[in-house]
Amino acid sequence: MDKSSSSNKNILLIGLGDSITYGYKVFDKSFMNLLKKEYEVINYGVCGYTSLNLVKDLKSDKYKLDKLKELSNKEEIEIIFIINIGINDVSQYLENNYHQVSVSNFIENINFIIKKLKEYNPYKIIFIGLNNINEDLTNNLSFTIENLYLTTKEVKRYDSLIKNISRKENVEYIEIKKIINKYLDNFPDGVHPNKNGHYKIYEEIGKKL
């Protein structure tokens, strides 16, 4: 992605989400950090976050987005929200197979997140879908230390919810499960994209900007 710095100086990218947004294990090679080469970026990704955590943060105005709204209204900056949330919601408890966030609550949360962010007059909202996982790894002891596990079937189920809600709300959606190879683009935990996976996500975001 090769963008003119002069044309991007008034664009602010705000990342919201979990450890993938945060850049777990890749740090400066994460898609949010790669975007810093062309744009102003604020990354609010937090490891372990679910959609419920993000809803609570938005309700409490933890990120002080009202100040950014004022700037946006004055056309001083264009705000673009980049969201990646849901992989922790999908994970299930070994003891009862319940998801961390139920399907009904997930739908409610995603709708709230999108509608809440629209209140800040963003130039654009981009929702990154859930990535492919390596189920052989997400069911073994390296992942179940917290008594949780992940399955491809449920990841696809929740991802389809994100896709459908995004379309309904006229929000950009990036279907990264089509580009993330579960063997080549993930770390050995089978969940988090490695630097190759993050670069692919970065490229896909660039097509939406």
pLDDT tens digits for range 184-193? 888 878 899 9
Query: Taking 50 as the threshold, does the pLDDT of residue 36 lie above it?
Result: yes
The better pLDDT of the pair 112, 188 is held by 112
- The residue type of 62 is K
Rounded to whole angstroms, the Cα distance separating 28 from 21 reads 12
User: What is the pLDDT, as a whole number, of residue 181?
Assistant: 85
pLDDT digits (tens, 9 = 90+) for 78-100: 899 999 999 999 999 988 999 99
> What is the pTM (predicted TM-score) of this model?
0.91
User: What is the pLDDT, as a whole number, of residue 141?
Assistant: 43
User: What is the pLDDT, as a whole number, of residue 163?
Assistant: 98
Through-space distance between the first and last CA atoms of the chain, rounded to whole angstroms: 10
Domain count, the chain: 1
Counting beta carbons within 10 angstroms of the beta carbon of residue 105, is it exposed (0 to 12), middle (13 to 18) or buried (19 or more)?
Answer: middle
Q: What percent of the chain has pLDDT over 90?
A: 67
| Domain that includes residue 178, residue range | 5-208
pLDDT digits (tens, 9 = 90+) for 137-186: 887 544 555 788 899 999 999 999 999 999 999 999 999 988 988 778 88
Q: Where are the beta strands (DSSP E) in the chain?
A: 11-17, 40-43, 78-84, 92-93, 124-128, 148-149, 172-174
Counting beta carbons within 10 angstroms of the beta carbon of residue 7, is it exposed (0 to 12), middle (13 to 18) or buried (19 or more)?
Answer: exposed
User: Residue 139: which CATH number?
Assistant: 3.40.50.1110
13 strand-pairing partners: 41, 80
